[in-house]
Structure 1
Amino acid sequence: MTEVDVVVAALAVDGGRPVVLVGGGRRLPRVPLGPKTPGAAAAGLAERVLPGAPPRRVRQLGAYGTGRALDLVHVVLVPGGAPTADGHAWSAPDRVAGEDRAAAAAARDWLAEAIGSETLALDLLPDAFTAADLRRVYEAVWSTTLDVANFRRWVRAQEGVIAATGEKRTGVGRPAALYTRAPDAPRRLRLPLARPEPGPAPSGHRA
């Protein structure tokens, strides 16, 4: 009989880079499938190892393994800095141990591929964020630099997806307008964001 585990590749953006949650032995969190559906088991596991940070998005990535062991890997997205429990900690995806490293890399690559057309970046941010916060998520996931003025215009085009709160973040520099996910926002962006081709970083002032 094949043993089936549900494995969670929880992704966040922290320190300007994507990170993944690991536990003992630098492995991804896992539980036996049991009577629950794979999605429900993944969500329950994520809530246990990430207390206080309910998963914003849970999606099955794929099945890994052969023979008597099969891992159903689910991607879970949470805001950066989410607290961890049960000895788990955030790590670079390429530092995950053993066979789980391939699953962590696949989760990171899926995020980089899908984030330009789906509202995944909002799942990686707190409820209120600035345009600069949102831009830095894309820059971290894509390992690139985006033009500030073009990105602001793109944000303003996301009607029905991103909504201004009417408040501003104050502190160092100019006050920055705060945004949030629009009520009943779709899962796909109103206007996709194209991933820049590799090349020199754009010049100009950065906010």
Structure 2
Amino acid sequence: MTITRRLSYRQDDDYDSAVPLRLNAAVAVDLVVLTIWQERLAVLLVERGVAPYRGGLALPGGFVLENEDLPAAAARELAEETGVTVDHVHLEQLATYGAPKRDPRGRVVTTAYLALAPTLPEPVPGTDAAAARLVTVTDAMSDPTRLAFDHRQILADGVERARDKLEYSPLATAFCGNEFTIAELRRVYETVWDTTLDPRNFHRKVTSTAGFVTPTDRMTRQGGRPAQLFTRGDARLLHPAMLRPRAD
């Protein structure tokens, strides 16, 4: 796959604008969209409607248009293939993948984005996606050949990024609504880390970490004992960190 583009330069540049710039790689974006679904960590996947890997599962994504920057391309591809917009999700660049044979169509370099959301609307497939649905991360990772291209590795990297950042940043609140209880925040940590945390210790750590959460004067009203509601604080980093339990 060869992409040929003509670039124009100022007349005083040393470049000959009549000579086309030949690029030997296409540029793409892919998205790891994570949410908590049915009390488990889940990823938004599409069923490919076109070759290669027709009928296989893949991360939403596609090629970058000539006049797009990467974040705009990621937002467009997500909306086109799943109907989900980035308006209310946390979106950050994850990594770039450029192995020479990662795509059977030719040399394709993709920049992956990590998106986190408390909930997602029912996906609506479009363009070259025949279907779109949530799949638990465990199920998506269960078979090394289940995901197209190198998307299993990209998904693994996205999950690990989320797990790591829960330790030193307030990223866990991206899985919560605008208001949440400490118990709801704890369940985010338990789900993403796949572990069990002591409720009292967790409450103490969260509420004693400056800028992590901000208390409101509102309480939950849905059955059981009322619990105080919190919103995300203004901290960008957590001091001290919320250390993830490690297996011995």
Q: TM-score range by the shorter chain?
A: 0.7 to 0.9
Contact between 1:57 and 1:77, CA under 8 Å: does it hold in 2? Answer: yes
1:9 partnered with 2:48: no
1:178 partnered with 2:229: yes
Shift of residue 62, structure 1, vs aligned partner: 1.2
Structure 1: any 5+ residue segments left out of the alignment?
A: 200-207
**TM-score normalized with structure 1 length:** 0.85
Counterpart for residue 59 of structure 1: 92
Counterpart for residue 247 of structure 2: 198
Contact between 2:45 and 2:59, CA under 8 Å: does it hold in 1? Answer: yes
Partner of residue 130 from structure 1, selected from 174, 181, 197: 181
Matches within 5 A, 1:102-117: 102-117=153-168
Q: Deviations over 1:37-62 (max 9, x none)?
A: 21232234345535466243222211
Q: What CA distance in whole angstroms lies between the structure 1 residues aligned with 2:33 and 2:73?
A: 14
1:160 partnered with 2:242: no
Q: Deviations over 1:88-125 (max 9, x none)?
A: 21112352512211111111111111111111101111
1:31 partnered with 2:31: no
Q: 1:131 to 1:27 in 2, by over 3 A?
A: same
Counterpart for residue 79 of structure 1: 118
Q: Secondary structure at the match of 2:179?
A: coil
Partner of residue 89 from structure 1, selected from 133, 145, 150: 133
* Structure possessing the higher radius of gyration over alpha carbons: 2
Q: Secondary structure at the match of 1:54?
A: coil
Q: What CA distance in whole angstroms lies between the structure 2 residues aligned with 1:133 and 1:82?
A: 20
Q: Secondary structure at the match of 2:168?
A: coil
**TM-score normalized with structure 2 length:** 0.72
Q: Secondary structure at the match of 2:91?
A: strand
Shift of residue 139, structure 1, vs aligned partner: 0.4
RCO greater where, 1 or 2, for CA within 8 Å and sep 6 or more?
1
Q: What CA distance in whole angstroms lies between the structure 2 residues aligned with 1:198 and 1:156?
A: 26
Shift of residue 81, structure 1, vs aligned partner: 4.4
Q: 1:40 to 1:190 in 2, by over 3 A?
A: farther
Q: 1:82 to 1:146 in 2, by over 3 A?
A: farther
Q: What CA distance in whole angstroms lies between the structure 2 residues aligned with 1:159 and 1:45?
A: 37
Mean Cα deviation higher: 136-145 or 11-20:
11-20
Structure 2: any 5+ residue segments left out of the alignment?
A: 1-23, 48-55, 101-106, 126-130, 141-145
Shift of residue 190, structure 1, vs aligned partner: 4.1
1:40 partnered with 2:72: yes
CA RMSD across the alignment: 2.0
Q: Secondary structure at the match of 2:167?
A: coil
Q: What CA distance in whole angstroms lies between the structure 2 residues aligned with 1:170 and 1:53?
A: 30
Q: What CA distance in whole angstroms lies between the structure 1 residues aligned with 2:46 and 2:111?
A: 17
